[in-house]
Chain A
């Protein structure tokens, strides 16, 4: 997709602050969404997911919010730590298949 060619936007936060990473998805028929975390030189790792019948889902220090009206997904990280520094990708999926469409990613930098 076109997001593949874009350089990653960067979010810089102070250690201990909360982080909010946003993602706009493209397909109103998508009904499953995932956030991945990718540390430098490694493969993406699953953080949290949410289905379209939910507006909010919480994990450990992370919360995902889904606004289907405006096709917007966000990842909130509480009390951000240096180990949270990574690139974060959202991905959407239609239940008819298991293809994921990835967003362009956001680089999170945590300042000590």
Chain B
């Protein structure tokens, strides 16, 4: 079990640029989640996929944010026209849920730290 992996681990960009992050979930996990964490706070939910379907989106996910999971495996999170307020740690998590299970456990990756200058 190799765990959730995220790439890159660190990203520094200038305001207005677009950035894309990748998440590879634990093999065979069918649910994938994105969270954002700022200093001194707990993670905040952004969006979640079951297989390739995006089933839930937070109001934190503005129009500049888009996430995909095209083949139900890895996922990408893109931020367009980055702003300084986007600086945060972006966390990915995955879980294995059978059927409509409401009792699944999310396992987190190491995160991508984004700094917008």
A and B: partners? no
Binding site for B on A (CB under 8 A): none
